[in-house]
Amino acid sequence: MLGFVRVALFAILRAMADKDWTRILGWPGYKVYRHELDERGKRLNLWARRKRSDRQLVCSGCGKLVSEIVESYEREVRDLPCFEYLTTVVVELYRVRCPGCGVRTEKVPLLPSNAPFSKRFEDAVGQASESAAASRAAMQFGPSASTVRAVDQRYLARWSQTRRKPALRQMGVDEIYLGKKQKFVTVVSNLDTGEPLWFGAERKKETLDEFFRTQLSAFQRGAVRAACVDMWQPFRQSI
> Where along the sequence are the contacts to Zn ion (CB under 5 A)?
59, 61-62, 98, 100-101
| Count helices and strands in the chain by DSSP H and E runs | 8, 11
Q: Which residues pair with 186 in a beta bridge?
A: 175, 200
- DSSP, collapsed to helix, strand or coil, labels residue 110 as coil
> What gap in Å lies between CA 58 and CA 54, rounded to an integer?
12
Give Cα 62 to chain centroid, integer Å: 19
- Helix-helix angle 134-141:119-131, to 10 degrees: 140
Maximum separation of any 2 CA atoms in the chain, in Å? 75
Choose between 59 and 151: whose C-beta lies nearer to Zn ion.
59
- Closest approach, Cβ 130 to Zn ion, in A, equals 35
- Closest approach, Cβ 62 to Zn ion, in A, equals 3
- Closest approach, Cβ 108 to Zn ion, in A, equals 15
- Closest approach, Cβ 97 to Zn ion, in A, equals 9
Choose between 26 and 100: whose C-beta lies nearer to Zn ion.
100
Choose between 61 and 234: whose C-beta lies nearer to Zn ion.
61
Choose between 100 and 142: whose C-beta lies nearer to Zn ion.
100
> What gap in Å lies between CA 108 and CA 98, rounded to an integer?
15
Q: Which residues pair with 172 in a beta bridge?
A: 189, 228
- Closest approach, Cβ 162 to Zn ion, in A, equals 22
Choose between 98 and 168: whose C-beta lies nearer to Zn ion.
98
Q: Is the dihedral of CA 18, 23, 25, 31 positive or negative?
A: positive
